[in-house]
A and B are shown apart, each in its own frame.
Chain A
Amino acid sequence: MAKTILDMDVVIVGAGPAGIAAAVTASRFGLKTALVEDSPGPGGQVWQETPSGRPWSRRWLNRLRACGAQVLGGTTAVCPVDQRTLLVETLDDHHVLAWRHLILATGARELLLPMPGWTVPGVFGAAGLARLAKNGWPVAGKKVVVAGSGPLLLPAALTLKRYGARIALIAEQAPIGRLIGFALACMYLAPAKLLQAWLYGLRLANVRYKMGCWPASVEGDVCLKKVSLVHKGLKIAIDCDILACGFGLVPNLELARLLGCSIQQGVVCVDQWQRTSVPGIYAAGEQTCIAGMEHAILSGRIAALVIAGQYQEARPMLGACSRARRFGHALARAFALRPEVLGLADQETIICRCEDVTAGQLQPYTDWRKARLMKRCGMGPCQGRICGAALSHIKAWPYPTARPPLLPTRIATLIEGTMAVQKAANEAKGDQI
């Protein structure tokens, strides 16, 4: 029944680089900090510790272990109960976290775009499949086409290769010209990234890499058989087992939206101190700008320093943080999606995978509300996370309003969590009298 509430100075949602950096920093100043993470352990998409692989950055994870912050793994943010509490759920339990400061570090997810056949088992997100492989998904011996866009395709392919997959092709939709321009910009903005890309290149030396090439359709019935791609105006068909396909990243904005934080141009609005439009709520990392790990760490640290009142220490980081954001903007320009990849779906292609709503069925509708009302588009368990992101790119539909719960949540959690908050509020009232 109604359990006690965990009283925290700082609650951080998301234990990727931004969340970890924020937790480590906040704890340094004696702030009672909780770090909520949807995955079993901390690390996010980049730093996750895996059963068979090594962590990418042991240093930050060690600091996290040592810092005293409470790490709640396997814990999903459900919704705020009132203005200063967050309800969270685990596999078989739930908690209420009361916060004085909240840092949103929910990161980003891959943009997954509809194309004919993309619902066939064997089609995955690119970084998503790498993540699955790190957690034991058997890719060894599988023939994989890695496709889509963005700098994550290379490390994803590398991870898959390390776990024994045969990479048939890496297809990047961006044209070669734009990527060369980007590489030049990187020399100024982020030379380390260039080096990293070159190292990936070395390790993927015998893998085919095509620029200006994108997947067009998938064939297969119970499982995937063949992927068709377009390159230089020609169709290439590749027999394979898996298509690992992501078209860059989109920020996870659902929690920010539910909390009423202002969102503009697809990211959470923050000032230079990472403060959102809602007092007491900060945002850091990819949901404020898709700019990679350095930006995530810096912005997470800045948010925590501001909370601790350490503006002196934070101020010198502002320059690097804004440079990292500029790198993010250059990244977005270089890997901007070509119109062709936004128009892959045909009439029969399913757009909303939860409710099996096809492109043809959506054709009469001009906005989300109508599509939702009439066709249930985006009304399934993922609540439009996949089709919403896709349609915001394909049809430029703004995201629908967020409603609690953020993810499917046990009814018992909603009842007991809310009652716990009410009980505490009543007791507080009693104390005052």
Chain B
Amino acid sequence: MPRLVTVKIDGIEIRVPSGTSVAAALALAGKQITHRSVTGQQRGPFCGIGVCLACRVTINGQPGCRSCKVSCQEGMEVITDG
């Protein structure tokens, strides 16, 4: 059984297995939408490998982080703009 870590997503705490990507944690928290496009469309992760930058969120106050490329760490705070 993998260790669990707690992350806060848009203010709500969720526990996920250590090593889970932030993108996955967002989906587990029911947030498949990470941002609104420039014309206001809802968008979520797309390429899955850190290239398209559609999954950008704010992590620990750092804006524009690719959530698919970051593993959840204990106490991490994630903010989406979806």
Chain A residues near B (Cβ < 8 Å): 38-40, 45, 50-52, 74, 76, 91-92, 109-110, 112, 119, 121-125, 127-132, 135-138, 222-223, 252, 353-356, 380-382, 385-386, 407-408, 410
Contacts and interface: CB of A to CB of B under 8 A. Distances in A.
A416 to B, nearest CB: 15
10 contacts: A51-B18, A74-B71, A109-B47, A125-B48, A125-B49, A127-B48, A131-B68, A136-B16, A138-B24, A408-B64
B48 A353 contact: no
B9 interface: no
B27 A38 contact: no
Nearest to A49: B19
A127 B38 contact: no
Contact of B52 (A127, A252, A386): A386
Contacts, number: 129
Nearest to B24: A136
Contacts of B54: 353
A254 B50 CA distance: 14
A135 B19 contact: yes
A38 B24 CA distance: 17
Contacts of B33: 121, 222
- The 5 lowest CB-CB distance pairs between A and B, nearest first, are A128-B48, A51-B19, A136-B24, A136-B20, A121-B44
A131 B52 CA distance: 14
Interface string B6-44: 000000000011111101110110001100011101111
B48 A382 contact: no
A38 B32 contact: no
A52 B52 contact: no
Contact of A356 (B38, B64, B71): B38
Given A38-B69, A39-B69, A45-B49, A132 B24 contact: yes
A138 B27 contact: yes
A276 to B, nearest CB: 22
B77 to A, nearest CB: 12
A352 to B, nearest CB: 10
Among A130, A382, A410, the one with the most B-chain Cβ atoms within 10 Å of its Cβ is A382
